[in-house]
Amino acid sequence: MRDLKTYLSAAPVLSTLWFGFLAGLLIEINRFFPDALTFPFFFHSSY
């Protein structure tokens, strides 16, 4: 039962940190490459 309480207290904290990091990363990518359908550092095309 103690392990379940540890899991329930750790999972929300870790998921909040992860989604906060992911949101910040997406915001920064959209700041440097606004409205990009393909990102130049992933795909090098000759257009």
Residue 47 has pLDDT above 80, yes or no: no
Name the domain count of the chain. Answer: 1
* DSSP H or E run through 47: none
Q: With respect to residue 16, please indicate whether it lies within any of the assigned structural domains.
A: yes
pTM over 0.75: no
Q: With respect to residue 46, please indicate whether it lies within any of the assigned structural domains.
A: no
Q: With respect to residue 17, please indicate whether it lies within any of the assigned structural domains.
A: yes
To 10 degrees, the CA torsion angle through 41, 31, 13, 10?
0
Per-residue pLDDT of 5-31, as tens digits, reads 787 778 888 899 999 999 999 999 888
Q: With respect to residue 3, please indicate whether it lies within any of the assigned structural domains.
A: yes
**Cα maximum dimension of the chain:** 59
Q: With respect to residue 26, please indicate whether it lies within any of the assigned structural domains.
A: yes
Find the domain containing 14 and state its range.
Answer: 1-31
Side chain identity at 30, as an amino acid letter? N
Q: With respect to residue 22, please indicate whether it lies within any of the assigned structural domains.
A: yes
